[in-house]
Each structure stands twice: as structure tokens, then as C-alpha cells.
Structure 1
Amino acid sequence: MTDKNVKSKLIIEVSPQTHQLVETEMAGETEEVKGETKALIEALKKRARSEAKSPGNISNETYLNAVRQAREAIEARTLVEREYRLDYAWLVMQDEFEKNWYLLMRELVDFGDRLQHAAKAAWEAFNTPRYQR
């Protein structure tokens, strides 16, 4: 079993501020996505608090640079995911359009054939001599 197949069962206490932020900003997302986002924010906050409190070799500037890099990486990933979703939606729309176009063309050809047969039958009925009926 890989790490991707194992779901985290860790209970993380979510602050009211984080809860409100995620619920407002991610209104259209699933509860699973919201829950994971809340957990990520709380983990980041916890890590930031522990790093800020710990004495040692990390300077304020180093910490701020690390936080900025993490934010930029998350934002870049979000933009890539949005672009991927837009590309995928466009491909789905193109595929549906092509299917519908093919079905429409098939219906038009079928209608044209039926119209041609009806016109031929009408012509034959109109031109058949009366004594042969």
C-alpha cells in the first residue's frame, strides 16, 4: 500500500477564523477539499508559531523568506491546477461539440434521404397513368 492510498485520520482543531476563511473563499468546493485546506492552514499556522518561538539559528528574515517561498509555490500550483481544469473543460466542450455536430450531420443526411424518397414516390404517383392504378 502506498502513502497515496492511506488517508490521514489525524484530528486537527480548526480555529473559527480558518473555518470562516475557507468556507467563504471555497464555497463551491467539496467538504473533503475544504477540510484538507483547513488542515493545511492550521498546520502552517502551527509550524509558523513553533518556528517563531524557537530560539536558534533561524533569523526573522530567513523565516520570512521560507514562508514567502511556500506561499509562492502554493499559489503557482493553484494557477497550474486552474489552467489544467480550464484546458480540460475546453477539451470536453470540443469533444461534445464534435459529437453533436456529427449527430446533426447524420440527421440532416437521413432527412435529405427521406425527403428524396418522398419526392420520388410523389413523382411516381403523380405520373402513373390512371388505368394502371
Structure 2
Amino acid sequence: MNANNIEPIETTIIESTESIVVVEISSQTDEMVETEMAGETDEVKRETKALIEALKRRAQTEARLAGTLTRETYLKAVRQAREAIEGRRLIERDHRLEYAWVVMQDEAEKNWYLLMKEVVDFSLRLQKATKAAWEAFNAPRSQL
């Protein structure tokens, strides 16, 4: 058996004006061509066997390449998805930080207004107390 798990039973040498190619013919191909083309010449059978084997090898190569491309495409898609998720996490963190900053600003602003309200209220009470003390201090002694 060879690397493609096809048992070669015949080796065919194909000669053309351009090159000589040695093609191993599997038992399946040999049986099929001999059965289906029983009335043809040996040359036609030989060329047909070589064509079928070439097509098989080409199909196997294409399948391997497609498998490699599919794996590469899958890995690329997985990496992009991971990077997108990690990017979203960073964006989510940024959004959370921005939100936290906005909340802190709102709380500081509320606290500032509450503090200012307390200061104003205290100031009004102090003014009333001062006025009452002044009035009591300056009241005629007969009213005491």
C-alpha cells in the first residue's frame, strides 16, 4: 500500500511529446476500467486508468488543502471572536469606569448642594439667633 492507502498493482508509463510520467494504478481503478471498457484497446484503457488516478490524486490534494484552509479559517474566526470579546471587555471596563466617574460626580454634586443647603440653613439660624440676642440685649430693662 502507498501513502494514500491505495494498493498499486500496475505501473503505467505515459509518454507524450513533452514528458514521461509514471503513474501507479490502484486495483480498484484497474478493475473498474477493465470491466467498464472491456472492448477498448490497451492504450485507451491505460490512458483512462492514468486519468482516473490523476483525478483521484487531485481530489485528495484538494480535500487536504480544503481541510487545511478550513482549519485555518476556523482558527482565524475563533481568534477574531476572542479578540472581539476581549475588546468588548476592555470597552465594558471603560464604560464601567466612565459610569463610575459619572456616578461619583453626581454624588459629589448632590453632597455639595446638601452641604450648601446646610450652610445656608445654619446661616439663617445664626442670623435669627444673632437678631434675637441683639434684641434681647437692647430690650428695655423694664421688660425683663
- TM tier, shorter chain? 0.5 to 0.7
Alpha-carbon separation, structure 2, partners of 1:82 and 1:56:
41
**Which consecutive aligned stretches of 4+ in structure 1 deviate over 6 angstroms post-superposition?**
none
Alpha-carbon separation, structure 1, partners of 2:121 and 2:74:
70
1:128 to 1:92, Cα distance in 2 relative to 1, 3 A: same
TM superposition shift of 1:65: 1.9
- Calculate the aligned-residue CA RMSD, in Å: 1.8
Alpha-carbon separation, structure 2, partners of 1:116 and 1:106:
15
* 1:66 paired residue among 77, 82, 86: 77
TM superposition shift of 1:71: 1.3
* 1:57 paired residue among 50, 59, 66: 66
1:58 to 1:83, Cα distance in 2 relative to 1, 3 A: farther
User: Aligned residues: percent identity?
Assistant: 70
**TM-score, reference length from structure 2:** 0.50
TM superposition shift of 1:70: 1.4
| Counterpart amino acid of residue 114 in structure 2 | L
Tell which structure's C-alpha radius of gyration is larger: 2
| Counterpart amino acid of residue 67 in structure 1 | V
Q: Which residue of 2 aligns with 1:101?
A: 112
Instruction: For residue 107 of structure 2, give the secondary structure of its aligned residue in structure 1.
Output: helix
1 or 2, which has the higher helix percentage? 1
Higher relative contact order (CA 8 A, sep 6+): 1
**TM-score, reference length from structure 1:** 0.54
Instruction: For residue 66 of structure 2, give the secondary structure of its aligned residue in structure 1.
Output: coil
TM superposition shift of 1:132: 3.1
1 or 2, which has the higher strand percentage? 2
> Are residues 1:82 and 2:93 paired?
yes
> Are residues 1:91 and 2:99 paired?
no
Is there any run of 5+ residues in structure 1 with no aligned partner, and where?
A: 1-54
TM superposition shift of 1:103: 0.7
Residue by residue over 1:71-108, the C-alpha shift from the partner in whole angstroms, topping out at 9 and shown as x without a partner, is 11111111111111111111111111111111110010
Matched residues, number: 79
Q: Which residue of 2 aligns with 1:128?
A: 139
Alpha-carbon separation, structure 2, partners of 1:80 and 1:96:
24
Is there any run of 5+ residues in structure 2 with no aligned partner, and where?
A: 1-63
Alpha-carbon separation, structure 2, partners of 1:77 and 1:121:
64
TM superposition shift of 1:64: 2.7
Q: Which residue of 1 aligns with 2:121?
A: 110
